[in-house]
Amino acid sequence: MESSSKVPENEVEVDHVDMLNASFDGYGGVIVNVKEDMDENIFTTLLRTSISQWRQQGKKGVWLKLTIELVNLVKPAVKEGFWYHHAEPTYLMLVYWIPETNHTLPPNASHRVGVASFVVNDKGELLVVQEKSGVFKGTGVWKLPTGTVEEVCNFFFFFFVTLFFFFLTKNQTDQVLCSQGEDISVAAIREVKEEAGIDTEFVEVLAFRQSHKSFFSKSDLMFVCMLKPKSFVIEKQDSEIEAAQWMPVEEYSNQPFIKKHKSFDYIAKICMAKKDNKYVGFPALPTATATSAKKSYLYSSYQEE
């Protein structure tokens, strides 16, 4: 087939006028990355020609990433049979399945991930905060510092690396900024530093909670992390935190709001047991995923003999 040679397997881009710019992945998939705006009718023609070629080549899934600037190409894509896979603020990912069979495309992300931090000082006092907004605003409830695990690391380190790359090339900046999601342990340390100005090190995950339909049919996973404080002078964040203090653990756990809710009451009991060295959670072991060299962490209480 003559057409095959136009789109070689090694992610070499196709720049023929009658085909869309695309690369191939190792799973029979085609990744289209439209880089500049074009007339809707020309786009439709290119899409039809390209899909016809990819069908002949035995390709399966087609991934079409349209940045928000290319919003005018969303409608023609959907009219050709594409549907939505996922979206982020700056782009929409559409997909198309060429074979007659049911598609085997991977699912979208389904869970938001949060952390709550249990930080106890040498006097047995717990770091607690009151928030300026959210459901606990104005309730007087003292709670553990909490936050969301971010999709992109926001370290100072990354800031400087990003600055560095910015002077090299814009593309590489994007790669660095989007290079990696945040580790649970890192998120817990970051939130405590942001909300209360306390430096900590990660000890272990004490417990986690899965709940559903928190937000537009997505689910939540919340990890309660034990952190060891390395500094003790509180400097609270003014924008989000109403108050922050060290409080006896018993005083925290005896709050009516905590006692009333099974989930909070149970977490408080776990924290008190941990304070008295009567509980073992899941510390983190650095590993790598089996199918690539990507860094990962395995959380368990197993210790080699």
Which of the residues 89 through 148 are near a copy of itself (CB under 8 A)? 89-93, 104, 106-113, 133, 135, 148
Three-state DSSP class for 226?
strand
CB of 16 to a copy of itself, least distance (A): 26
The whole-angstrom separation of Cα 43 and Cα 64 is 12
The answer for residues whose C-beta is within 8 angstroms of residue 114's C-beta and 6 or more apart is 146, 147, 148, 149, 220, 221, 222, 223
With beta carbons less than 8 A apart as the criterion, state whether 274 and 281 touch.
yes
CB of 2 to a copy of itself, least distance (A): 30
Applying CB under 8 A, does 41 fall inside the site for a copy of itself?
Answer: no
Question: Given the rule CB under 8 A, which of 116-124, 196-204, 241-249, 277-285 is the region that contacts a copy of itself?
Answer: 277-285
Catalytic residue among 80, 125, 150, 194: 194
Q: In the numeric block, which tokens belong to residue 143? A: 């709670």
The answer for residues whose C-beta is within 8 angstroms of residue 271's C-beta and 6 or more apart is 118, 120, 126, 206, 224, 226, 249, 253
Interface residue with a copy of itself, options 12, 71, 163, 243 (CB under 8 A): 71
With beta carbons less than 8 A apart as the criterion, state whether 215 and 112 touch.
yes
The whole-angstrom separation of Cα 301 and Cα 122 is 24
- Lookup result for tokens 């290119």: 46
Cα dihedral: 123, 115, 184, 178 (round 10): -130
Applying CB under 8 A, does 208 fall inside the site for a copy of itself?
Answer: yes
Applying CB under 8 A, does 152 fall inside the site for a copy of itself?
Answer: yes
| 151 carries an active-site annotation | no
Half-sphere exposure of 58 (CA within 13 A, CB side): 6
Q: Which is nearer to a copy of itself, 16 or 33 (CB)?
A: 33
CB of 54 to a copy of itself, least distance (A): 19
Q: Which is nearer to a copy of itself, 233 or 293 (CB)?
A: 293
Q: Which is nearer to a copy of itself, 3 or 287 (CB)?
A: 287
Half-sphere exposure of 18 (CA within 13 A, CB side): 6
Residues in contact with a copy of itself, total (CB under 8 A)? Answer: 85
CB of 282 to a copy of itself, least distance (A): 7
CB of 247 to a copy of itself, least distance (A): 19
Interface residue with a copy of itself, options 59, 60, 85, 190 (CB under 8 A): 85
Q: In the numeric block, which tokens belong to residue 174? A: 């994007």
Question: Given the rule CB under 8 A, which of 14-22, 158-166, 177-185, 195-203 is the region that contacts a copy of itself?
Answer: 177-185
Interface residue with a copy of itself, options 209, 242, 245, 275 (CB under 8 A): 209
Which of the residues 216 through 245 are near a copy of itself (CB under 8 A)? 216-219, 221
The whole-angstrom separation of Cα 82 and Cα 67 is 16
How many residues make up the chain in this entry?
305
With beta carbons less than 8 A apart as the criterion, state whether 59 and 22 touch.
no
Applying CB under 8 A, does 287 fall inside the site for a copy of itself?
Answer: yes
Q: Which is nearer to a copy of itself, 17 or 290 (CB)?
A: 290
CB of 135 to a copy of itself, least distance (A): 5
Question: Given the rule CB under 8 A, which of 15-23, 120-128, 226-234, 275-283 is the region that contacts a copy of itself?
Answer: 275-283
| Residues with catalytic roles | 194
